[in-house]
Amino acid sequence: MNMTGNTILITGGGSGIGRALAEAFHRAGNQVVIAGRREALLHEVTSANPGMEALVLDIQDGNDVAAFASQAVEAFPALNVVIHNAGIMRPESVAAGGFLATAEETIATNLLGPIRLTAALLPHLLAQKHAAVLTISSGLAFVPLATTPTYSATKAAIHSWSMALREQLKATSVEVIEIAPPYVQTELLGPQQAVDPAAMPLAEFTAEVMALLESRPDTGEIIVERCKPLRFAAENGQVDAIFAQLAAQHG
C-alpha cells in the first residue's frame, strides 16, 4: 500500500495499537479517521492530533456497522484504506462455566466486526484506484493462549480469512495485509500489560510495523521479529513447547 496520501479508517483507534497506528499514519501524511464506541476517548485522540477525524462505531452491532459504513463513505468519499483493529481479549474459565457470554462478545467484536465492515465497505473500496484492507490478527493465531481460548480462535480465523480474502481480491485494486502483533505493552488485558517488561514496547512495535509496510512484503503479512517464534512455530516444530510456555507465563 502507499504510505501517504490515503484516507484511512482505523477501528479501535482510541487506544493501544489502534491509536499508535493512527498517529503514525497521521504523521506520514494521511487523512486518518478513527472509530470506536467511546466518544470521549476518540475526542481526546483527535484533540491531540489536529486534522484527525473520528466517528462513533459499535463494532458488535451489525446494524450499526452497516449504517456506519454509509456514513463514513459519505463523509470521506476518498476513503481507500480500512484497518480492522478493534478487538477485545478476556480470560475465560471454561470449567467454572459462565464463559459463553464472553465468547460470543469476543466473536462479535473480533471476527464478525471485521467481516461485516469489510462487506459494507468493499464496493466503495473496489472503486478506488488503490485501496487496502488491513487486519490485525495476533501471534496467538498460530499458538493459542489457554486462558483466552475464544480470543485465540478469533485471531486464527482472522488469519485464515485474510489469506482467503487476499486470494479472492488479488486481481483487484484492493490489497489485503495482515498485521500479527506479539505481546505488546497495551491495556488489552488490563493496565498491568501496559507496563509489563515482558511485552514489546508499543512505540517499538509501531515503528517496526511502519517500516515493514514501507518495504511491501510479498507475503501480505507484517510479522515483527518478536512475533516470528509464534508465527513460525509449526514450521519449526515448536507449537507444543511454546503453547506450554505461554500457559505457564499467563496461567
Task: Report pLDDT for 105.
Answer: 97
Question: How confident is the model over 81-103, as pLDDT tens digits?
Answer: 999 999 999 999 999 998 999 99
Whether 72 is in a domain gets the answer yes
Task: Report pLDDT for 250.
Answer: 85
Whether 2 is in a domain gets the answer no
The sheet that has 131-136: what strands, in order across it?
Answer: 53-56, 31-36, 7-11, 81-84, 131-136, 174-180, 221-223
Domain count, the chain: 1
CB 182 within 8 A of CB 190: no
Q: What is the CATH number of the domain that holds 51?
A: 3.40.50.720
Question: How confident is the model over 159-196, as pLDDT tens digits?
Answer: 999 999 999 999 999 999 999 999 999 999 999 999 99
Task: Report pLDDT for 216.
Answer: 78
Q: Which domain holds residue 84?
A: 7-250
Active site residues: 151
Whether 1 is in a domain gets the answer no
Stretches where the chain sits below pLDDT 70 are: 217
Q: Give the separation between CA 142 and CA 116, rounded to whole angstroms.
A: 24
